Chains A and B, each alone.
Chain A
Amino acid sequence: MSAPLLCVHDLTVAVQDGAGPRVLLDRISLDLGAGDVLGLVGESGSGKSLLCRALIRLLPSPKLRITGGAVFLEGRDLVTADEREMLKVRGGEIGMIFQNPTSHLDPVMRVGDQIAEGIRYHQGLSQRAARAAAVEILAQVGFADPNRQYNGYPHEFSGGMRQRAMIGVALSSNPKILIADEPTTALDVTIQAQILRLLLDIRDRRGLTVILISHDLGVVAQTCDRIAVMRNGELVEQGDKRSLLAAPQHPYTKALIESHPSMPGEGVATAAIAQPAPALRPLLEIDDLHVRFPSGAGLFAAGPKTISAVKGVSLRIMPGETVGIVGESGSGKSTLARAILGLAPLSSGHISFDGADLGQNRAKALQKLRSEAAMVFQDPFNALNPRLTIGEMVAEVLRVHGKAVADIPARIGELLDLVGLEREFADRKPRSMSGGQCQRAGIARALAVEPRMIIADECVAALDVTIQAQIIDLFRALTARMSLTLLFIAHDLAIVRNLCERVVVMYRGEIVEEGRCADVFARPQHAYTASLIRAIPDIDPDKPLRADLLSPSVAETGSGRVSDQPSAAFNW
C-alpha cells in the first residue's frame, strides 16, 4: 500500500431534527493510498453515500452536520477548509459519480457541454479546446461516436450511456480521487460488467484512486483492492480484499458473503419442487406475439415509425409451472408481461388464458385474466398509489373481488404475514416505506386476488440479499401449496436459477433460448445466454470479470425502463 492520499479520521456526522441529535456516521476512520481502489459495501441505509458526501462537505441537508473528526487530503484538513478551498477540492481533486445518473445530469444541457463545463472551469481551457477535450473523454468512457453524442441530451441516452456520461462528467475536472456511488445498481449484468471494466481501465490509465460503493459484494470483489464494510453508520470491518473475503471477522460480513447468490448453494433444490401433473391444456398460450410502440416521425416524413418491443414470441405455460424470464434491460420482458395482462397494445399474435382468447373476445378474456392472474410490478414504489395506505389498497382489491366486508381486516393481516411485513404496515403509506417494504406490499396485493397465476416483474431487485432469500422462499412455498403458476422476470440469473424450473432468455424482443433451468445454465446454446452467464460478477476475486459483449451497439440501444418513456396514447 502506497502512502495515504486521503486520511479519514474519526469522521462523525449527526443529524439534528425534532428528536435531538442522532449520529449517522460514527467515528469512521480509513486510509486511502494513491491508485487504490476501495470497495465500500454495506446494507442499504448504512451511510455509504453519506460518507462520500461528507468527504467533500456536500451533505444532503442543512440538518446534517459534521460533528467531529478530520479528513486529510494530502495533508490539508477538508473539514476545516474554507469554501474557496473546497471549490478546488470538489471536482478538481475529488470527483463524484452519483448513485442516480438520471437525476444528476442536467436534463436541459447537452451532455458534452456538461463535461466541457468542468474542463473549462478547472483547467481554464478555451471553449474550443474544452470541446475537444470533452470529445476525448466521451471516447474514453466508451461512446462509439463521441462527436455526435457530444450534442445529445441525457434523456436521449440509455441507462448505461447515462452512467458513462456521468463518469465522463466526473473525469472532466481531472480529479485524483474518484468516488463512484453504486454506479451499476440500476443496470443489468452485461452493462454492469462493461461499466466496471471501464472504471478499472480509467484507473489504470490515469492512475486514479477510486472509492467504489456497492451493496453487491460480487461487484466489489471483482474490482477492488481493499474492502470496507459498513453497517448502521459504523465501519465494521476493512481490509485487503482477499483476506477479508477469505476470513471475515464481523458477523454481518459473514452473512453478506454467505447469502451471495453466486454461491451455487441450493441449485439442486429446484428439482425437489413438486413436479406438476402433466396438464392437458396449458394455462397460458402465447402465439407469435408482436408488440409495437409508435415512436413518432420526422419533421416532414409521413406516417409514424414504430418500435418493436416484442417480436414474435411464442410461449406455453402449464398450470403450476414456474418459469423465469431473463434478458438484458430493454429486451422486452416487462412488455411481454404487460401484454399478457392486456396492458400493452397487442399488435399481432394470440394470447389465450385458460382458453379465453385475448384477441377474439377481449372484454371477456380481460375479465377472466384480471381476476385470476395478478402482476407484481417492476418498480415497487411507483406501483403503489401514494395516497392510499397499504391496508386501504389491499382492502379495495378484496372488495372489488367480492370478499365479504367483515372478512377483509383479517385477510389483510394474513396477507401481510405472508410477505413478512408487520401488521402495522396496514396503516402506512408507501412514502414512509423503504423500497423493499413497498415491494412486499405489492406482492401482498397480488396475492389478495387469490390468483392462479402471478407475473412477478423484477420483484426482488430492490431487496437486500437477506430479504431476497425470504421472498424466494415465499414463492416457493406458494407454488407448492396452492399450485400457483409463476412467471418470474429478473435480470439476476442467480435467483432464477434458484427458483425456476424453466427459463426463457429474451434478447431484443425475441426469445433466443428456452429450456429447463439446469440445462440452460449448464449448457447455454445461444451466445447471448452465454455472455449473460459470464457477466455475473463472482464473489471469488480470482474469477475475473467478463465484459465481452456482442457488440457495443447493444449496450447503447438498450434503453431504460418503461416508466422513463412517456408513452403515446395507448388505451387499455
Chain B
Amino acid sequence: MAVLGLFLVLAVFAPFIAPYDPIFQDAAARLHAPSPAHPLGTDNFGRDILSRVIWGARIDLQIAVIGVVFPFIIGTTLGTIAGFFGGIVDVIFMRVVDVVLAFPFLVLMLSIIAILGPGLGSFYIAMALVGWVSYARLVRAQILVLKNSDYAVAAISLGFSRSRVMFRHLLPNAAAGSLVFVMSDAVLVLLNGAAISYLGLGVQPPLAEWGVMVADGQSFISTAWWITLFPGLSIVLLAFGFSLLGDALADLMGVHE
C-alpha cells in the first residue's frame, strides 16, 4: 500500500520532485553512471534516469489503471447481462468470449497498433477489447449462481425491476471477486505494455515510460546497467504494490483469488 502511495505521489508531483526535465538531453552527460548529480545515472542521450523514472510513474500508473478500468466496466456489465438472461443470449455471449479468448492477443494488439499507430490509445483499446473477457467470465459464473440465490429471488418477489436486481443486488456481490482480480490484472497490463515496447511499439518518444526505458536500455545492458535496472525495478515494485493491495482487498472482502 505504501508502495502504491509512493508511486501516486511521484506521479502527481512529478514536476516538483524530478530534478531534471525528463526529456532534456545533455550531450555532455551521456551514459553517466549513478552519481550525486544523477542519482540513477543518465541514458544515451544524457537524460536523467531518476527524472524519467519519476515521470514514468505518471504514465505507468495511468496504463495500469486505465488498462483495467475499461475492461472491468465492460466485462462486469456484459457478464451480468449474459448470466442473468441466460438462454440464447448466454450461448452467444459465451461463444463470443471463446472467440476473444482464442484470438491471438498479439495479432489483435499489433493490428490495432498498426491501424491506429503506436501509443497509449491503441494500447488501451486493445486491452479493453481483450481484457473484458476475464471479468465477464468471472462475473457471469457468479451471476449464474447468485441469480438463483434466495436474495435475488427475494428481490424479484418484492416486485423489483430486472435491471435493479441485476445491477443493484447481483452485480455488487458478483463483482467482489473480480475486484481482487483487477489488481493482478493491472500487473499483467503493465507487463503487456513492456512486451509491446520490446517489439518497438511502445509509447511515442520522447515520453518516459518504464517499459520503453527498459526496452531501449537493452543495448546498454552490459555497459550501462542502470538504464534498464531502475525502470525495471519500478515495474516490479509497482506490481508488488498492486499484488499487496489485491491481497488486502481479498482479506477485506473475504474472497480469495
A and B touch in the complex (CB under 8 A): yes
Q: Are A382 and B150 closer than 8 Å at their CB atoms? A: yes
Closest B-chain residue to A367, C-beta based? B159
Residue of A nearest to B162 (CB): A572
CB pair A382–B90 under 8 Å, yes or no, is: no
| Cα(A572)–Cα(B150), bound, Å | 13
B160 interfacial contact with A, CB 8 Å: yes
Let me know if B36 is at the binding interface, CB within 8 A: no
Q: Which residues from A are CB-within-8-Å of B160?
A: 396, 400
Q: Interface size for chain B: under 10, 10 to 19, 20 to 34, or 35 or more residues?
A: 20 to 34
A316 within 8 A of B: no
Cβ of A375 within 8 Å of any chain B Cβ, yes or no, is: yes
Interface presence of A244 (CB below 8 A):
no
Q: Which of A41-49, A222-230, A563-571 contacts B (4 or more CB under 8 A)?
A: A563-571
Residues of A within 8 A of B (CB): 338, 341, 343, 367, 370-371, 374-375, 377-379, 382-388, 396-397, 400-401, 442, 445, 449, 563, 566-567, 569, 571-572
Residues on A with C-beta less than 8 A from B145 are 566
Indicate whether B45 reaches chain A with its CB closer than 8 angstroms: no
Whole-angstrom CA separation of A445 from B150 in the bound complex: 14
Residues of B within 8 A of A388 (CB): 169
A379 in complex: contacting residue of B150, B156, B172, CB < 8 Å: B150
Most A CB contacts (10 A, CB to CB) among B87, B159, B162 go to B159
* Minimum distance in angstroms from B241 CB to a CB of chain A: 27
Cα A569 to Cα B143 in complex, Å, equals: 12
B168 contacts across to A, CB distance below 8 A: 396
What is the minimal beta-carbon distance from B153 to any residue of chain A, in angstroms? Answer: 5
B13 sits at the interface (CB 8 A): no
> In angstroms, how far is the closest chain A Cβ from the Cβ of B38?
49
Partner of B150, one of A378, A387, A449, A566: A378
Can you list 12 contacts pairing A with B, beta carbon distance less than 8 Å? A338-B153, A341-B157, A384-B151, A400-B159, A400-B164, A445-B154, A563-B148, A563-B149, A563-B150, A566-B145, A567-B148, A572-B156
Contact B159 A383 (CB under 8 A): no
Q: In the complex the two chains form, is B153's CB within 8 Å of A569's CB?
A: no
Contact across chains for B85 and A571 when beta carbons are under 8 A apart: yes
Complex CA distance for A445 and B156, rounded to whole angstroms: 13
The interface bits of chain B over 140-183 (1 if a CB of A lies within 8 angstroms of the residue's CB, else 0) are: 00001100111101111111101010001100110000000000
Residues 195-215 of B, flagged 1 when their CB comes within 8 A of A and 0 if not, give 000000000000000000000
Complex Cα gap A387–B158 (Å): 18
Residues on the A chain within 8 Å of B85, using CB: 571
A374-B157, A385-B151, A449-B158 known; 15 new pairs, CB 8 Å cut-off, are A341-B157, A379-B150, A382-B149, A383-B150, A384-B151, A384-B154, A385-B155, A385-B169, A445-B154, A449-B159, A563-B148, A566-B145, A569-B90, A571-B85, A571-B87
- Give chain A residues whose Cβ lies under 8 Å from the Cβ of B150: 377-379, 382-383, 563
B86 interface residue (CB < 8 Å to A): yes
Interface centre among B85, B148, B151, B173 (most CB of A within 10 A): B151
Which residues from B are CB-within-8-Å of A384?
A: 151, 154
Report Cα–Cα, A400/B159, bound state, in Å.
Answer: 8
B158 A370 Cβ-Cβ under 8 A: yes
Docked Cα-Cα span, A269 to B155, in Å, equals 35
Question: Please, how many angstroms separate the alpha-carbon atoms of A46 and B145 in the complex?
Answer: 34
- Scan residues 66-118 of chain B and give those whose CB is less than 8 A from a CB of chain A: 85-87, 90
Which 6 A-B pairs have CB atoms at the shortest separation, nearest pair first? A370-B159, A383-B150, A569-B86, A382-B150, A377-B150, A385-B151
Q: Are B159 and A566 in contact (CB under 8 A)?
A: no
Q: Residues of A contacting B156 with CB < 8 Å?
A: 343, 370, 572
Q: A457 to chain B: closest CB distance in Å? A: 10
Cβ–Cβ contact A387 & B149, under 8 A: no
Using CB atoms, name the residue of chain A closest to B91: A569
A contact residues around B172 at 8 Å (CB)? 387
B148 touches A383 (CB 8 A): no
> How many Å from the CB of A568 to the closest CB on chain B?
9
Chain B residue at minimal CB-CB distance from A451: B158
Give B96 Cβ to nearest chain A Cβ, in Å.
18
Report chain A residues within 8 Å CB of B169: 385, 388
**Complex contacts, A382 vs chain B, CB 8 Å:** 149-151
A449 to B156, CA, bound (A): 13
Q: Which residue of B lies closest to A341 (CB)?
A: B157
| A379 vs B151: C-alpha distance when bound (angstroms) | 9
Q: Is there an interface contact between A400 and B90, defined as CB atoms closer than 8 Å?
A: no
**Docked CA distance A384–B173 (Å):** 12
- Report how far A382 CA is from B249 CA in the complex, Å: 23
**Are A375 and B173 in touch, CB under 8 angstroms?**
no
Cβ contact within 8 Å between B157 and A343: yes
Question: How far does the Cβ of A365 sit from chain B's closest Cβ, in whole Å?
Answer: 12
CB distance from A314 to the nearest CB of B (A): 23
| In contact, B86 and A401 (Cβ under 8 angstroms) | no
- Residues of A contacting B159 in the complex (Cβ-Cβ under 8 angstroms): 367, 370-371, 400-401, 449
B contact residues around A572 at 8 Å (CB): 156, 162
Q: Smallest Cβ distance from A293 to chain B, in angstroms?
A: 12
Bound CA span A396–B165, Å: 11
Q: Which residues of B contact A338 (CB under 8 A)?
A: 153
Q: Which residue of B lies closest to A375 (CB)?
A: B157
- Residues from chain B with a CB closer than 8 A to the CB of A383 are 150-151, 153-154
Which of B90, B144, B158 contacts A445 (CB under 8 A)?
B158
Contact B173 A386 (CB under 8 A): yes
* B28 CB to nearest chain A CB (Å): 61
Q: Roughly how many angstroms separate A338 CA and B157 CA in the complex, as a whole number?
A: 9
**Which B residues touch A378, using CB under 8 A?**
150
Does the CB pair A343–B153 fall under 8 Å? yes
Contact (A370, B151) CB under 8 Å given A385-B169, A385-B173:
no
Q: Is the CB of A377 within 8 A of B153?
A: yes
CA distance A377 to B144 in the complex (A): 20
B16-45 interface with A by 8 A CB criterion: none
Q: A377-B150, A567-B148 are in contact. Are A370 and B173 (CB under 8 A)?
A: no
Q: Cβ of B151: which chain A residues have Cβ within 8 Å of it?
A: 382-386
Q: How far is the CB of B154 from chain A (nearest CB, A)?
A: 5
Residue of B with least CB distance to A337: B157
Q: Which of A379, A400, A566 contacts B158 (CB 8 A)?
A: A400
For the complex formed, measure the closest distance between the CB of A393 and the CB atoms of chain B, giving whole angstroms. Answer: 9
Determine the chain B residues whose CB is within 8 A of the CB of A385 once the complex forms.
151, 155, 169, 173
A449: B residues at CB distance < 8 A: 158-159
CB distance from B159 to the nearest CB of A (A): 4
Least Cβ–Cβ distance between B174 and chain A, in angstroms: 11
CB-CB under 8 A for A374 and B158, given A385-B173, A387-B172, A571-B87: yes
With CB as the reference atom, state the residue of chain B lying closest to A569. Answer: B86
